[in-house]
Copies of this chain bind each other. A is one copy, B any other.
Amino acid sequence: MIPPDYFPIEPWQIREPRLDLDLLGQTEALFTLSNGHIGLRGNLDEGEPYGLPGTYLNSFYEVRPLPYAEAGYGYPQAGQTVVDVTNGKIIRLTVDDEPLDVRYGELVDHERILDMRAGTLTRRLHWCSPAGKQVKVHSTRLVSLAQRGVAAIEYVVEAVDEFVRVTVQSELVANEDQPPTSGDPRVAAILENPLEAVERERTESGAVLVHRTRASELMMAAAMHHEIEVPGRVQVNTMAIPDVAATTVVCGLRAGQKLRIVKYLAYGWSSERSRPALRDQAIAALTGARYSGWQGLLDAQRTYLDEFWDGADVEVDGDPDCQQAVRFALFHLLQASARAERRAIPSKGLTGTGYDGHTFWDTETFILPVLTYTAPHAAADALRWRATTLDLARERAAELGLAGAAFPWRTIRGQECSGYWPAGTAAWHINADIAAAFEQHRVVTGDGSLEAECGLAVLVETARLWRSLGHHDRHGVWHLSGVTGPDEYTAIVRDNVFTNLMAAHNLRTAAEACARHPDAAHELGVTTEEMAGWRDAADAAHIPYDEELGVHPQCEGFTSAAEWDFDARTTYPLLLHEPYVRLYPAQVVKQADVLLAMHWRSHAFTPEQKARNVDYYERRTVRDSSLSACTQAVLCAEVGHLELAHDYTYETAFVDLRDLHDNSREGLHLAALAGTWIALVAGFGGLRDDSGVLSLNPALPEGISRLRFRLRWQGARVTVSATDTEVTYTLRDGPESRLTIKHAGEELELNTQSPTTVPARRREPLLATPTQPPGREPNHRREVAR
């Protein structure tokens, strides 16, 4: 846990007024700068102490064997693990004879600020060395959103009250030492010395290091160049050995004098390009950065962010904690995706090595729905990445004896890397989640070009997968057996409601897309018979319903399964204290499952069913996954438990700012951060689009006086501003001057001339506010906030 008062509540920045070394791992993750291509954890300039040193390049990984005590057919033999690449952040400072180290001497002052409009991490420190010499350091770091391969650091040292000799060593370091791993199976396997030196070059004030991974045979280049300003004499030279290049700057500073260094960094990597090509790529990027100059990079960064916030900002009046958190969430979502450009968005972005740097269904189910409304080009790029892995997914399906394509449960490059098939391969829903993300992108952007470009093939092959996975029983009902839904505490079941609804959606969407693109469909071998088979299976899909209880069993038989012993067995997370063999057959839910179905396939449930299902599953959901609270917020809001929804909003919003899952040091929970937007916009804003129409229905909890958010819908920008009593919709621009949406279920026409204000619809709960399993009541927002 990070204490609630650790970061002051400020609307546009995360400011750490003092340094707590016990929280270093967490703050490194929170202060990560990234553009989706390069990720620099917020490690201290001088490299140590650290929680976890981290410099990542999207999709740059090493492979490692996946061991099994008892092997089985089709188990993946090789895993992929994100690699901590050459660290260019390091700037060591020696003051007279003492290296600056916050653990020694006296740290008079230390402040770090993540500025979400500037896109920078700044640090100010005032240090008194053990020998009594004082310096102030002010560093500003950025990873350029405008120039994909570029990062830069401005580093300023100032002598305070007397002359000091300062030595600055600015480095590129490969194969950094890594801390020992924890026993938690979810923490990434750390690889030692993953990089093999290939080439090094140096100039007086810079260097290039080229390295290669041993098994995956990926090559990367890191380059640095320094601009140095200082009054008086300065000596600069650069050395390079295989794993280190260091530019050393030595000078003397009188009181008040400053040494200013701008360090430009450039990265490039490739699985195919040659060593010279790669080196030149890094040098070209470096040259581009120098051409822009430090101020140019800063300006471009702010311009990029201004444009983003203009279309994405969410304002939460009356709730400054939540205000800060949702901007933090959106900022990191942008950082993870902005320049990923046909690479995966890992579940932890480029903020740490958690989950081995893999991408899961998190991307399509939680991250892309937010990006689709706020940064649709980034969502499109992520979907394009999925499409590039279609051939691998086809091979995987064939290996498993299935038709179509089976996308991996977890991967970096596209190969299945899941070592536990009941919660990996059997979680087939990821295929429908991907298909749904393509369809949502088409509906929300109103742009069919992505479907024509690559989405159609994904829809067709996933539909084929479902058709070969499912079967009709002797009464013509279509079933999906042996599947694992979102709730990983109940696996290998029959007719998971979420999976069946999503598969049916996948099948119907594929048929509709083929009808839109008959020629392309024909090229994919789709016949009208095949399309009819898809529609037929979708229509016949079994959605279990327990008539006695009036709720949807999460899967066949769920509501008559044994109840979990919540009197005795409540050490969370349960997966670390209870065996699957007992979790699976019990009515204990790791994460929203039926509730997620009710969010994404909202129209498939009546309001009364929603109310009863929320009541039933709230009592059995332990939220051992960070992918749960946001969905619980959305559904609790929908059925009228607005205060409970507000608490869940805090759980997802502060997952990392308060380290609620005690593992933020390994990386941020991007899907849960996306959940902040989802909780606010889909929960309190009532956003739904599963009927193809932009539908809103705002209703606020007591703690939020006004909620204002911006959306992009089919080329238009819409602002929604809601209070407890009324809602104002503004159509800011758009391809046409009018737009028909739904407000509280009724059609409403907006126009670009003037905002439209309507009364808010109150949500009256059908049932009393439900309770949760003991120990799993949501942190009331007052405990998370201050």
Contacts and interface: CB of A to CB of B under 8 A. Distances in A.
A185 B562 CA distance: 35
Contacts of A585: 481-483, 492, 494
A550 interface: no
Interface in A547-582: 548, 556-557, 560-563, 569, 575-582
Interface in A478-500: 479, 481-483, 491-492, 494
A582 B401 contact: yes
A494 B559 CA distance: 13
Nearest to A475: B560
Nearest to A577: B73
Given A185-B72, A421-B580, A421-B581, A560 B426 contact: no
A104 interface: no
Interface string A393-416: 000000111100000000000000
Contacts of A584: 482, 492
Contacts of A560: 473-474, 479
A422 B420 contact: no
Contacts of A422: 422, 492
B67 A426 contact: no
Contact of A581 (B68, B69, B74, B582): B74
A684 to B, nearest CB: 37
A419 interface: yes
A79 B72 contact: no
Contacts of A67: 67-69
Contacts of A131: none
Interface in A31-59: none
Contact of A492 (B75, B492, B548): B492
Contacts of A424: 70
A579 B494 contact: no
A569 to B, nearest CB: 6
Contact of A579 (B421, B470, B575): B421
A66 interface: yes
A71 interface: yes
Contacts of A275: none
B579 A70 contact: no
B481 A426 contact: no
Contacts of A426: 581
A418 interface: yes
B70 A419 contact: yes
Contacts of A76: 69
Nearest to A399: B579
Count of identical protomers in the assembly: 2
Interface in A160-205: 185
A75 B72 CA distance: 17
Contacts of A483: 585
A471 interface: yes
A425 interface: yes
**Chain A contact surface mostly:** loop
Interface string A485-523: 000000110100000000000000000000000000000
Interface in A63-91: 66-76, 79
Nearest to A573: B73
Given A72-B575, A422-B422, A402 B482 contact: no
Nearest to A402: B582
Nearest to A421: B581
A419 B68 contact: yes
A581 B483 CA distance: 8
A422 B557 CA distance: 19
A473 B400 CA distance: 36
Contacts of A563: 471
Given A581-B400, A581-B425, A557 B494 contact: yes
Contacts of A481: 557, 561-562, 585
A582 B473 contact: no
Contacts of A548: 474
Contacts of A402: 582
A88 to B, nearest CB: 33
A249 B44 CA distance: 77
Contacts of A575: 72-73
A471 B581 contact: no
Residue of A75, A79, A473, A562 most packed against chain B (CB within 10 A): A562
A240 B470 CA distance: 67
A578 B401 contact: yes
Contacts of A418: 70
Given A491-B492, A557-B494, A185 B71 contact: yes
A420 B580 CA distance: 11
A401 B74 contact: no
Contacts of A70: 185, 418-420, 423-424
A562 B494 CA distance: 11
B579 A425 contact: yes
Contacts of A473: 560
Given A70-B185, A185-B72, A582 B419 contact: no
Given A492-B492, A569-B401, A420 B69 contact: yes
Contacts of A577: 73
A79 B481 CA distance: 33
B72 A401 contact: no
Those 5 A-B pairs whose CB atoms lie nearest each other, nearest first: A69-B419, A482-B585, A481-B585, A67-B67, A471-B562
13 contacts: A71-B185, A72-B185, A73-B577, A73-B578, A74-B579, A402-B582, A421-B581, A425-B579, A471-B562, A474-B548, A481-B562, A491-B492, A492-B492
